[in-house]
Chains A and B, each alone.
Chain A
Amino acid sequence: MTHLFRRTAYKWAGLALTLLIFAAAFAASLAFGQTQIKPGTVWEALFRYDASVQEHVIITTSRLSRALIAAVIGASLAIAGALLQALTKNQLASPSIFGINSGAIFFIVAAAAFFSVSSLIQYMWIAFAGAAAAALMVYALGSTGRGGMSPMKFVLAGAAISALFVSLTQGVLVTSEQSLQSVLFWLAGSVAGRTVEMLLPILPFMAGGWIAAFLLGHSVNILTSGEEVAKGLGQKTLWVKTAMIAVIVLLAGGSVAVGGSIGFVGLVIPHIARGLVGIDYRWIIPYCALLGGSLLLLADVAARFVIMPQEMPIGVMTALIGTPFFIYIARRRSGRI
């Protein structure tokens, strides 16, 4: 595979550049919106806060938490996507395509409707359970049957499982109408209207997931060079795979608990990261984190402008960006599937 940064020095420079892009995207997310705020004012709001200035209040009460949440979710989904693509050896894998997002969503909606769960920390555990259920179902469906594990089977199994959970979710929502309105916007995927307090309880889990993903990098490299090779090198492949699934479930489930259904980040970003740094997952993971965060920040900024004065759900935004990408890869790769 050809990639852009071949020397280690270039990779470090690229990482610095990506960090710069991420910072710019973060700043843009703070500055642009219904009320345009000057960069200087943004700086002041962060470091010389003055509660009497309206723009400062906008930034600290709504924009900052929104940007933080977008960055965390974007990074998590991108890393989850990278691990999923490595695990299933499938270029088209991502948490949304594989039904992991819809699994988490169904569990949350069902819990909200039937057991009146409302605290976010409970949502998070329920989302983990849903993500895990969907991931295991898809993995089992995709790797069994004639011909063993095939990318095509994985995508179809994911689509089937996701169709299952989507219709079950619709069923729950239709029977309890009052909950429909309150969860619809969340369902569509959104990072708006959430406070930093909602993110804090989940953040340790997410950060743990990022670190675990990075530490797994070397094992993932060995695993992707082939099951036989990995076993020959003395790797306990079952353990590595289990750890990868656990990290995927943690990151994808946590993202859904905070932001609802946001697709395609986990599909697009790993491809870009591989295009930049090649197949070394110790590099891919940090690149994915920064690029994923940047993508979701920018998508969120764009979502504020597309249909002004209303806001587009960010999940729709990422789907619009991601679909052409998915189809491009499907057209290019399907010869080999």
Chain B
Amino acid sequence: MSNDIQHKHFTRSEMVSELLRKKALTVIFTLILLSAILFIAGLSAGSTVLNPLDVVKHLTGAGSGEHNFVIHTLRLPRMLLAMLAGAALGVAGLIMQGVVRNPLGSPDIIGVTGGASFAAVFFLTRLAGSVSIKWLPIAAIVGAAAVSALIYALAWRKGVTPVRLVLVGIGLSACTGALTTMMIVLNDEYSTTRAYLWMTGSVYGAKWSDVYSLLPWVALLVPLSLLFAKSANVLETGDETAAGLGVRIQLHRIGMLTISVALAGAAVAFAGGIGFVGLIAPHIARKLVGRAFGYLVPVSALIGSMMVALADVVARTAFLPLDIPAGVFVSGIGAPFFIYLLYRSRHQ
């Protein structure tokens, strides 16, 4: 990117980007290593503590099979689902922050997650008896998409500016929030508790089928978002600059929003309303590898997945026999951390 613009300093900019590349690759490699350690540790920890070596043996197929149930049926799908959801939320947040050009503009703040929650709670309280629970993810994604389309349409006034997008989103999310509460309040006790637990965000009781259903979304959409890397870098500089450089702003914005919404919707569908990941993961990613979108995508995905996985491991082990929803933990740790980040950025 930078060599296109700065022909005069060709060698120097090439050197800088080479340095950046090395740094980014080091970061990505380190994060993968940490994820692997977290993965093994997470599979070992729990009410039955396993030897990490046995876990590795099991994963490589050399195990004796005695921990088959604990690892393969209980912990592995839960771990994988947490990581996939976290990766999806991290990238969804990154893209959304780029589109609205504000570090606070993540899917959960501007109402996309609220739409998904509304649809899912509607499904859980009104339709769950007559329609198979398998359709819950579809309901959540449809909800996220519908609310996003509504936000975009309502923010449209000879084009869409990031400010209007955010403000309309916040207004709508207050509305979907109120409606969600209403459906929960006006229902019988059983579905209320279930819907509420879901809303809080939990990978409790994750099954392999959930993992297989979420995997294609993440595996497809995260690489797809890299296609927008160039326009994302330009869009960040502002509408005028972007238009001047020939980026078709509205078109690219819609494309990026679609990916972000689909990722957020899919993650919310399987893991419930886990907040703050889409807000924080991109922040940390930017601190680590700078502003180049191409590096930010994998780093945000890795950090997001580690956040949710770590939160879930701590939430299910620290308060045994209680199994606290991961979402509570993410926001309990994430929100103060986020405030700290904002405070820091002020002093730089």
* B112 CB, min distance to chain A CBs, angstroms: 13
A317 closest partner in B (C-beta): B178
Does B184 sit within 8 A of A, measured CB to CB? yes
Does B166 sit within 8 A of A, measured CB to CB? yes
Q: Chain B CB within 10 Å — which of A137, A330, A337 has the most?
A: A330
**B166 in complex: contacting residue of A155, A171, A177, A331, CB < 8 Å:** A155
Check if B175 sits within 8 Å of A141, measured CB to CB: no
**A171 in complex: contacting residue of B104, B186, B325, B345, CB < 8 Å:** B325
Check if B192 sits within 8 Å of A170, measured CB to CB: no
| B201 cross-chain contacts in A, Cβ below 8 A | 167
Check if B166 sits within 8 Å of A152, measured CB to CB: yes
Does A61 sit within 8 A of B, measured CB to CB? no
Given the complex of chains A and B, what is the CA–CA distance between A52 and B107 in angstroms? 57
* A178 CB, min distance to chain B CBs, angstroms: 10
* B335 CB, min distance to chain A CBs, angstroms: 4
- 1/0 per position for B312-335, CB-CB distance to A under 8 A? 000000000010110111111001
Check if B171 sits within 8 Å of A326, measured CB to CB: yes
| B108 cross-chain contacts in A, Cβ below 8 A | 163
Check if B200 sits within 8 Å of A171, measured CB to CB: yes
* A262 CB, min distance to chain B CBs, angstroms: 10
Given the complex of chains A and B, what is the CA–CA distance between A256 and B177 in angstroms? 17
Does B346 sit within 8 A of A, measured CB to CB? yes
A264 closest partner in B (C-beta): B174
**B182 in complex: contacting residue of A92, A171, A175, A316, CB < 8 Å:** A316
* CB contact under 8 A between A174 and B105, given known A145-B346, A316-B179, A323-B171: no
Check if B200 sits within 8 Å of A160, measured CB to CB: no
Check if A327 sits within 8 Å of B168, measured CB to CB: yes
Check if B155 sits within 8 Å of A331, measured CB to CB: yes
B335 closest partner in A (C-beta): A164
Check if B324 sits within 8 Å of A171, measured CB to CB: yes
Indicate the size class of the contact surface on chain B: 35 or more
Check if A174 sits within 8 Å of B197, measured CB to CB: yes
B183 closest partner in A (C-beta): A316
| A8 cross-chain contacts in B, Cβ below 8 A | none
**B157 in complex: contacting residue of A168, A313, A331, CB < 8 Å:** A331
Check if A167 sits within 8 Å of B174, measured CB to CB: no
- Which residues of chain B from 192 to 220 have any CB-CB distance to chain A below 8 Å in the complex? 192-193, 196-197, 199-201
Does A205 sit within 8 A of B, measured CB to CB? no
| A156 cross-chain contacts in B, Cβ below 8 A | 102, 104-105, 109, 166, 170
Check if A170 sits within 8 Å of B327, measured CB to CB: yes
- Kindly count the residue-residue contacts between A and B in the assembled complex, taking CB atoms under 8 Å apart: 157
- 1/0 per position for A100-130, CB-CB distance to B under 8 A? 0000000000000000000000000000000
**B192 in complex: contacting residue of A97, A137, A181, A327, CB < 8 Å:** A181
* B331 CB, min distance to chain A CBs, angstroms: 4
B178 closest partner in A (C-beta): A319
Does B161 sit within 8 A of A, measured CB to CB? yes
Check if B163 sits within 8 Å of A310, measured CB to CB: no
* A135 CB, min distance to chain B CBs, angstroms: 14
* B111 CB, min distance to chain A CBs, angstroms: 9
**A170 in complex: contacting residue of B170, B185, B328, B338, CB < 8 Å:** B328
* CB contact under 8 A between A152 and B109, given known A163-B276, A313-B181, A313-B182: no
Does B77 sit within 8 A of A, measured CB to CB? no
* CB contact under 8 A between A171 and B163, given known A159-B109, A181-B189, A319-B175: no
* A276 CB, min distance to chain B CBs, angstroms: 23
Check if A168 sits within 8 Å of B178, measured CB to CB: no
Check if B200 sits within 8 Å of A174, measured CB to CB: yes
- Which residues of chain A from 173 to 194 have any CB-CB distance to chain B below 8 Å in the complex? 173-175, 177, 180-181, 184-185, 187-188
- 1/0 per position for B253-295, CB-CB distance to A under 8 A? 0000000000000000000010110010000000000000000
Does A296 sit within 8 A of B, measured CB to CB? no
Check if B196 sits within 8 Å of A173, measured CB to CB: yes
Given the complex of chains A and B, what is the CA–CA distance between A141 and B109 in angstroms? 15
Given the complex of chains A and B, what is the CA–CA distance between A215 and B197 in angstroms? 46
Check if A167 sits within 8 Å of B200, measured CB to CB: yes
| B177 cross-chain contacts in A, Cβ below 8 A | 166, 319
Given the complex of chains A and B, what is the CA–CA distance between A181 and B184 in angstroms? 10
**A330 in complex: contacting residue of B167, B181, B322, B342, CB < 8 Å:** B167
| A184 cross-chain contacts in B, Cβ below 8 A | 181, 184-185, 192
Does A242 sit within 8 A of B, measured CB to CB? no
* A121 CB, min distance to chain B CBs, angstroms: 26
Does B154 sit within 8 A of A, measured CB to CB? yes
| B109 cross-chain contacts in A, Cβ below 8 A | 156, 159-160, 163
Check if A180 sits within 8 Å of B346, measured CB to CB: no
A-B contact pairs, 30 of them (CB 8 A): A141-B342, A145-B345, A145-B346, A155-B170, A156-B102, A156-B104, A160-B109, A160-B279, A163-B275, A163-B331, A167-B201, A167-B332, A171-B324, A171-B327, A173-B196, A174-B197, A175-B322, A184-B181, A188-B185, A263-B174, A312-B182, A319-B175, A319-B177, A319-B178, A320-B175, A323-B172, A326-B171, A327-B171, A331-B164, A334-B164
Interface residues of B (CB under 8 A from A): 102, 104-105, 108-110, 154-155, 157, 161, 163-164, 166-168, 170-175, 177-179, 181-182, 184-186, 189, 192-193, 196-197, 199-201, 273, 275-276, 279, 322, 324-325, 327-332, 335, 338-339, 342-343, 345-346
Interface pairs A-B: 5 shortest CB-CB? A171-B328, A319-B178, A330-B167, A167-B331, A164-B335
